Chains A and B, each alone.
Chain A
Amino acid sequence: MADLVQTFAALGDPTRFAIVERLMNEGPLSAGELQDVADISAPAISRHLKVLRQNGLITRTVDKQRRIYAVAPDQIRNISDWMLSHEAFWNAGLDRLAAALDED
């Protein structure tokens, strides 16, 4: 559980979330290829990649000169398991119900 709280905290940053989303959609990418997920410097992207790696959300492998990043399936699966938590299910749904009633 503590792990998952850390995971969510790591994902609480829009740039880091965008990186994970990009890796999920496009598969493994180098740091250079990830540079355009946000309008920030290369060192800043590196720092975000490091946080994601320390929290087990992504992995890094070295291919010749290139560092390749990919999502870590286990931790992503933990997030999917979270979807099966009933409290989370209902809280998320009721938030959306409130929004739907307001829009109506």
Chain B
Amino acid sequence: MPDLTLERQFNAGPARVFEFISKTEHLLKWWGPEGVFLPEHNLSFERTGPWMSVMQNAEGQRFKVSGHVTHVDPPKSIGFTWAWHDENDVRGVESHVTIRLVPEQNGGTQLQLSHVDLPEETAESHQEGWNSTLNKLERLL
């Protein structure tokens, strides 16, 4: 199964970044691609337990994803399970997300995201050349 790993640097320190990746009020500012809104959500990674979000795009299509928060270790890491629901609300293959925050010498934070146990048919296997194209579309959406 393809695994996805991403790294990002942020200027803010780990404590601040952790708030932004765990508290509902902050998660709602960045969860999902630009242009989607969240008509339903239970998004908090401050505690273990269930989470879910429904994302709706400009054409009215709804995408539901849900899982269980498995660990919360502020300001270092968060783990949760992840699965998309189909149009009949049947939950698909479960994958696992871990977000780790590593302090940097300049006071910033490196965020390391891993998303593993993904189903084969998703696009992660097509790595080369994807990012620039997706970044372009990101700006448009």
Chain A residues packing against B (C-beta within 8 Å)? 1, 4-5, 8-9, 11-12, 17, 21, 24, 76, 79-80, 82-102, 104
Contact = CB atoms under 8 A, between A and B. Distances in A.
Contact of B115 (A76, A90, A92, A101): A90
B140 A84 contact: no
B22 to A, nearest CB: 12
Interface residues of B, number: 46
Contacts, number: 112
A6 B127 CA distance: 16
A5 to B, nearest CB: 6
A32 B51 CA distance: 48
B84 interface: yes
A7 to B, nearest CB: 9
A98 B8 contact: yes
14 contacts: A4-B133, A11-B137, A76-B59, A80-B57, A82-B123, A84-B63, A86-B118, A86-B124, A90-B4, A98-B10, A101-B11, A101-B12, A101-B17, A102-B11
Contact of A80 (B8, B59, B127): B59
Tell me the interface secondary structure of chain A in the complex: helix
B69 interface: no
Contacts of A95: 34, 135, 138
B84 A11 contact: no
Interface of B: 4, 6, 8, 10-12, 16-17, 20-21, 26, 29-34, 36, 55, 57-59, 61, 63, 84, 95, 111, 113, 115, 118, 122-124, 126-127, 129-131, 133-138, 140-141
A97 B20 contact: yes
Contacts of B10: 97-98, 101
Contacts of B20: 97, 100-101, 104
A83 B136 contact: no
A82 B124 CA distance: 11
Contact of A82 (B17, B34, B127, B137): B137
Nearest to B36: A83
Contacts of A21: 58
Nearest to A77: B61
A24 B58 contact: yes
